[in-house]
């Protein structure tokens, strides 16, 4: 991949080097495809992995400082200086905050093509944040939606079709090897013989600025749904994997208390774990009851062949086809969620067949080697234009 006889040079903007491993996988493959990749991100544990992948790393924090706006001029000037130093052919931002900084630094009339690969649709669901993002966009801006819902949303907002692309954040699909079960059932509190319904997600506290009363991932909805299932006469075990995200420890305590109040000893909270793939084989059903989501953990559960129930939001329908690869239910609807979980437990053979279909679908769509090649093609398309 080249421009003017040299490799395409792309500057990626990230707000974290703790999470967002999907970005690391993507740029690693882009380097293999011959792209000269520069990444600007804060210091953190993933920095060494970026360097090992052959990425040019620039330690900087370019997330827009919403809570300390007086720092914005310095951050904007810093990005402007880095762009002048690197001289990229394109700039590729992965977060709303870094995208705002990028556009403010270069201006609406800036000539360097600027890409916002949208990691999730949450900001598009708020009229204020949706308008704010578009207000700073100009003719050089392009969007890569990481699910079909996001692409459709931008086009509905008036963004030209030629400025919107679709590409999923890929993963190393060969790493998802199905292990033997048994580990989860040795955990304290797990009663032998009970079907296990699991949820694997961090606990995101409600955001009052968005009018949220319950957490984004829908933990409380699943708890209510499981109470309905149990009251119908079906005994089960509820396992929640994942702790507080970004310091939401008070919210985590509230969720745990609510779970024990509604489900008693049937609710087991394991907190944050680093052995999640080893826990999946013992789950009879995985629920993803998010209120807003990209593809989330549905790709992971399907890759591992676990029957999956998800809400009909964001990118979930891209992988969970209702009645084909899993069950889709409306968000914030515990009775419908309960009905889907009950159906999966009552017909485990059908549930596993659908999960296998979903596994094949995810492996086709989310292989990072495929998605990175799509990104490289998008670069070429934009530069050709």
- The full set of domain ranges for the chain reads 2-170+367-384, 173-365
Neighbours of 78 (CB within 10 A): 17
Distance CA 197, CA 13 (A): 38
- CATH dotted code for 173-365: 3.40.50.2000
Q: What is the CA radius of gyration of the chain?
A: 22
3-state secondary structure at position 287:
strand
Cβ-contact 227, 262 below 8 angstroms:
yes
pTM: 0.90
Interstrand relation of 114-118 and 90-93 (parallel, antiparallel or unpaired): parallel
Return the ∠ at Cα 137 (arms to 73 and 160), rounded to 5°.
Answer: 170
Report whether pLDDT(11) > 80. Answer: yes
Q: What's the confidence (pLDDT) of residue 296?
A: 81
CATH of domain 2-170+367-384: 3.40.50.2000
Q: Tell me the average pLDDT of the chain.
A: 93
Mean pLDDT is lowest, of 32-46, 191-205, 210-224, 315-329, for 210-224
In this prediction, residues 39-44 reach a mean pLDDT of: 96
- At 3 the pLDDT is 66
If one counts every other C-beta atom within 10 angstroms of the C-beta of residue 161, the result is 9
Predicted confidence (pLDDT) per residue in 243-266, tens digit: 998 888 999 999 999 999 999 999
CA dist., res. 384 & res. 84, Å (int): 22
Q: CA dihedral in degrees (364, 365, 367, 371; nearest 10)?
A: 140
Planar angle of CA 15, 17, 22, nearest 5 degrees: 90
Residue 213: band (very low, low, confident or very high) from pLDDT cuts 50, 70, 90:
confident
Q: Are 306 and 354 in contact (CB under 8 A)?
A: no
Which is higher by pLDDT, 60 or 132?
A: 60
**Whole-number pLDDT of residue 214:** 84
What average pLDDT does the segment 199-209 reach?
Answer: 84
- Domain 173-365 in the same topology as domain 2-170+367-384: yes
| pLDDT exceeds 90 at position 67 | no
Write down the residue that tokens 């086709």 correspond to: 364
> How many whole angstroms from its chain centre is CA 378?
21
- Establish how many alpha carbons lie within 13 A of residue 292's alpha carbon, considering only the half-sphere containing its beta carbon: 17
CA angle 98, 96, 10 (to 5 degrees): 50
């Amino acid at each position: 991949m080249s421009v003017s006889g040299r490799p395409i040079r792309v500057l990626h903007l990230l707000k974290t080097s703790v999470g967002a491993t999907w970005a690391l996988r993507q740029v690693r493959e882009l380097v293999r495809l011959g792209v000269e990749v520069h990444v600007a991100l804060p210091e953190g544990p993933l920095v060494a992995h970026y360097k090992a992948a052959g990425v040019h790393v620039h330690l900087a924090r370019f997330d827009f400082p919403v809570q300390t706006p007086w720092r914005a001029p310095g951050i904007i000037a810093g990005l402007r200086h880095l762009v002048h130093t690197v001289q990229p052919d394109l700039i590729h931002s992965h977060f709303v905050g870094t995208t705002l900084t990028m556009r403010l630094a270069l201006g609406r009339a800036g000539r360097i093509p600027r890409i916002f690969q949208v990691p999730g649709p949450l900001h598009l669901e708020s009229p204020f944040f949706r308008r704010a993002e578009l207000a700073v966009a100009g003719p050089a801006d392009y969007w890569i939606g990481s699910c079909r819902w996001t692409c459709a949303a931008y086009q509905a907002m008036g963004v030209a079709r030629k400025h919107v692309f679709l590409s999923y954040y890929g993963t190393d699909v060969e790493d998802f090897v199905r292990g033997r079960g048994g580990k989860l059932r040795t955990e304290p509190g797990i009663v032998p013989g009970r079907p296990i319904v699991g949820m694997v997600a961090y606990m995101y506290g409600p955001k009052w600025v968005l009018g949220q009363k319950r957490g984004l991932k829908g933990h409380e909805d699943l708890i209510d749904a499981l109470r309905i299932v149990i009251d119908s006469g079906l005994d089960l075990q509820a396992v929640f994997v994942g702790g507080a995200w970004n310091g939401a420890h008070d919210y985590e305590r509230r969720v745990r208390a609510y779970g024990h109040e509604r489900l008693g000893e049937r609710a087991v909270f394991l907190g944050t774990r680093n052995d999640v793939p080893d826990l999946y084989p013992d789950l009879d059903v995985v629920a993803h009851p998010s209120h807003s989501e990209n593809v989330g953990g549905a790709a992971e559960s399907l890759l591992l062949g676990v029957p999956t129930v998800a809400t009909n939001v964001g990118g979930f329908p891209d992988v969970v086809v209702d009645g084909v690869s899993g069950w889709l239910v409306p968000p914030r609807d515990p009775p419908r969620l309960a009905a889907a979980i009950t159906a999966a437990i009552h017909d485990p053979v059908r549930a596993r067949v659908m999960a296998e279909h979903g596994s094949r679908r995810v492996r086709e769509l989310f292989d990072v080697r495929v998605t990175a090649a799509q990104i490289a093609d998008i670069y070429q398309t934009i530069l050709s234009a």
